[in-house]
Chains A and B, each alone.
With several copies, the nearest count.
Chain A
Amino acid sequence: MSPTATSAYTRQEMMAIATGREIHDGELAIFGVGLSMLAGFFAQANHAPNLRAMTEGGVYGSTPVGGLPWGIECNRISTNATSFTSGLDALGCLVGSGRCDVGIIGAAQVDKYGNVNTTGIWDGDIGDAYRAPKTRLTGAGGANDIACGAKRFLIMVAHERKRFVEKVTYISSPGYLEGGNARARYGFAGGGPSAIVTTLGVLRPAPETNEFQLDAWFAFSSIEEILANTGWPLKVSAHAHVVPEPTAAELAHLRKVDETGALRRQ
């Protein structure tokens, strides 16, 4: 638990709430499994009642019941849907097309330009010829499609030095690539990552360069702690500030969504 004045909450809960605050009422939003789903449905419960939420499974109009769904198609989220279609519909017609306002994805590794690796961990560079990773991860899933197509997307990731690297070994989902307007080369429908929300704070891309810099820290963290846990020389925004702590209402809404307390386990 974090040592703060207000009611105790975990770093994961702060991360979920900070992510949820990035999502606005009425938006068309897509969530992945786990943390990202909790953050998204927290937003819907707390301040975005008209959020048009979906999962890449093509599950529409539902809200999880009985706790964190085991997957985007889990019965916990399929039990009160208004529509079931398909992955091609959700990720293609609604996300890859550029129609979706915001998506939330996770990362095993993220770099200074918001490129995400969820494919594997290699010992050093992959090299000219592709080779299997030392540690195989979960692959791109729908995150690549969200990163290419959603008008903007949020990256949720535990703030650890090994995860925040100068350059990811493998780009599973494109951020700003080499920075600047490198994305333009590919004509992506989507605009790129608008924020990296971590267990310690919030990073946002700098104008022009699109290099991520420290925008805000949490009440329980600090600029120093964040710099120490970032694997590249992280720039600090001139307007860096502390993120307001969760309100009692926010915590209540989050914990209602996180019925099984996934975010309260340390």
Chain B
Amino acid sequence: MPPPKLLSLAEAVRRYSWDGMQYASGAALPIGSDAVVFGRELLRQKRKNLHAIFHCNSQQLNLLAGAGAATRAECGFTGLEVFGFANGLRRAVESGELVLEDYSNLAMPLRLLGGALNWPFVPATVNIGSDLQDRSAFAPAEFPARSKIATVTDPFTGRQIGAFRPLKPDLAAIHVTLADPLGNSIMLGTEWSRFELSRAAKRVVIVADAIVDQACIRQFPNLVRIPEIVVEAVVYWPFAAWPQSSPGMYDVDEEHMRTMNGALATSEGTREYVRTFVESYRDVDSYLDMIGGERLALLGKTRTAFLLDPYRKWLLPAAEVARRQQDAETR
């Protein structure tokens, strides 16, 4: 039986992140499951020049870009869905502080799959014939930008299609609903591209809203789409996706989605946001206090709560998780 991998968030960021790294997160959607709190910690530890790989923008990338920590990004979608444009990312792109390479929402998981399978390229039947193929922010002088999405000839028909570059990020911080202390992880709600990312990344840190006993994992092995063999560390952090949502756990915090995106529209607002919502807490408890008990209760009253019911009896109490985390860290 391998040793537990529970780590504090601070320690996980210390061990597995560095300036200039290719950092992927959540393979997230803008409203949903993403390890937003991992991005906050990257800022707390002053990481910079990050090359962000985000299937879609999320409030995490919006924050990292707005605060100037990310200087390159590759994305399929760069907005906040119904919450509008991502002001932090937008400001960084328009000012030239961040160079953004555009793909589509299918291109990104295909590139991650290509990385997971260690392919030299991935066939592309989308993105071709548009400026996603012809224009590259990473190679601006090149037109058409075939170093971004090349053309390849189908050996069976002679027909030309496109070829994507596979992705192998240095680190992926993947938000999941439930994980056991070894990193066996259960996602509720769409996987989006967390499965592909968990195999493509050189290292994977799991950020879980809750920790479950392994008995839960063995009862539902078909739900465990990310097995411990691909996981370096497990971070326990309730409401880790806040202000985004986690199906079965909590709803999107509509007010804070707007507050946060509003603040990220200016550098002053961003500094203020970082002071108030990034540097302000010491640990999980003070993070939860920062959000506020009343709001936590409200967000927790989600219509999707029933999705968590089959697993509730295996949820480990925070104290027990803390104890096991201490054991793991002191090994």
Mark A residues whose CB is within 8 Å of B: 28, 33-34, 49-50, 52, 54, 56-61, 65-66, 68-76, 78-89, 91-99, 119, 126, 128-145, 147-149, 170-174, 177, 183, 185-189
Q: How far is the CA of A86 from the CA of B191 in the complex (A)?
A: 5
Chain B residues 196 to 247 lying within 8 A of chain A, measured CB to CB, are 196, 199, 214, 217-218, 221-222, 224-230, 245, 247
- In the complex, which residue of chain B has the Cβ closest to the Cβ of A190? B126
Q: Measured between alpha carbons, how far is A146 from B184 in the docked complex, in Å?
A: 24
A8 to chain B, nearest CB (A): 25
Q: Known contacts A96-B118, A144-B127, A185-B129; is A137 also within 8 Å of B85 by CB?
A: yes
Assess whether A141 is in contact with B229, with CB atoms less than 8 Å apart. no
CB distance from B189 to the nearest CB of A (A): 5
Stretch at the interface among B44-52, B132-140, B259-267, B317-325: B132-140
Cβ–Cβ < 8 Å partners of A177 in chain B: 129
Question: Which 6 A-B residue pairs are closest in the complex by CB-CB distance?
Answer: A138-B79, A71-B31, A141-B77, A71-B81, A83-B227, A83-B224
Contact of A81 (CB < 8 Å), options: B79, B125, B218: B218
Write the chain B residue with the least CB distance to A89: B199
**A28 lies within 8 A of B130 (CB):** no
Count how many pairs of residues, one from A and one from B, have CB atoms less than 8 Å apart in the complex: 279
Chain B contact-residue range equals 35 or more
Partner of B131, one of A50, A57, A119: A119
Report yes or no: A174 in contact with B130, Cβ–Cβ below 8 A. Answer: yes
Contacts of A131 in B (CB 8 A): 140
Residues of chain A with a CB closer than 8 A to B1's CB = 49-50
Partner of B225, one of A72, A85, A129, A134: A85
Contact of A139 among B78, B189, B254 (CB under 8 A): B78
Flag if A173 contacts B110 (CB, 8 Å).
Answer: no
**Beta-carbon nearest neighbor of B33 in chain A:** A73
Contact check: which of B77, B143, B193 meets A128 at CB < 8 Å?
B143
In the complex, A172 Cα to B132 Cα: how many Å?
Answer: 6
CB-CB nearest in chain A for B161: A187
Are A81 and B221 interface neighbours, CB within 8 A? yes
Chain A residues closer than 8 Å to B136, beta-carbon distance: 130
Q: Are B2 and A96 in contact (CB under 8 A)?
A: no
Contact between A57 and B29 (Cβ–Cβ < 8 Å)?
yes
The stretch among B97-105, B269-277, B278-286, B288-296 that forms the contact with chain A is B97-105
Q: Is the CB of A74 within 8 A of B130?
A: no
Enumerate chain B residues within 8 angstroms of A71, measured Cβ to Cβ: 29-32, 81-82, 252
- Contact yes or no, A58 B118, CB < 8 A: no
CA gap between A132 and B43 in the complex, in Å: 25
Q: Are B31 and A74 in contact (CB under 8 A)?
A: yes
Q: For residue A89, which residues in chain B have a CB less than 8 angstroms away from its CB?
A: 199
Q: Which one of A49, A139, A188 lies within 8 Å of B77 (CB-CB)?
A: A139
Other A-B contacts than A83-B217, A187-B161, 13 sampled, CB-CB below 8 A, are A61-B184, A61-B227, A73-B190, A74-B32, A83-B225, A84-B191, A98-B118, A140-B76, A141-B105, A143-B104, A144-B106, A144-B132, A189-B118
What residue of chain A has the Cβ atom nearest to residue B188's Cβ? A84
B109 to A140, Cβ gap below 8 A?
A: no
Listed A/B pairs (26) with beta-carbon separation below 8 Å: A50-B2, A57-B32, A57-B192, A70-B257, A71-B31, A71-B252, A73-B190, A74-B31, A76-B303, A78-B189, A79-B247, A82-B217, A82-B227, A84-B189, A87-B190, A91-B104, A94-B199, A94-B229, A96-B125, A129-B143, A130-B143, A140-B104, A140-B127, A140-B132, A144-B130, A144-B132
Tell me whether B228 and A87 are in contact (CB under 8 A).
Answer: no
B105 lies within 8 A of A135 (CB): no
B168, closest chain A residue (CB):
A97
B82, A69: Cβ atoms closer than 8 Å = yes
When C-beta atoms are compared, the residue in chain A nearest to B187 turns out to be: A84
Closest chain B CB from A124 CB (angstroms):
15
When the two chains form their complex, are residues B104 and A141 in contact, meaning their CB atoms are under 8 A apart?
A: yes
The A contact surface, by secondary structure, is loop
| B77:A138 contact, CB within 8 angstroms | yes
A60:B132 contact, CB within 8 angstroms: no
Residue among A59, A78, A133, A173 making CB contact with B130, cutoff 8 Å: A173
Minimal Cβ-Cβ distance residue in A for B139: A130
B117 and A132: CB pair below 8 A?
no
In the docked arrangement, what's the CA distance between A49 and B2, Å? 7
Contact status A145-B104, CB under 8 Å: yes
One of B109, B110, B118, B221 near A84 (C-beta < 8 A): B221
Q: Known: A129-B143, A188-B125. Contact between A136 and B78, CB under 8 A?
A: yes
B17 in contact (CB, < 8 A): no
Residues of A within 8 A of B217 (CB): 61, 82-83
Instruction: State which of B102, B107, B227 has its C-beta within 8 Å of the C-beta of A85.
Output: B227
Looking at the assembled complex, report how far the CB atom of B259 sits from the nearest CB atom of chain A, in whole angstroms: 15
Chain B residues near A93 (CB-CB < 8 A)? 116-117, 199
B109 interface neighbour in A76, A87, A129, Cβ under 8 Å: A87
**Residue of A61, A69, A97 ringed by the most chain B CB atoms within 10 A:** A61
A28-B229, A72-B81, A170-B131 are contacts. A58–B190 as well, Cβ < 8 Å? yes
Question: When the two chains form the complex, which single residue of B2, B191, B245 contacts A58, counting CB atoms closer than 8 Å?
Answer: B191
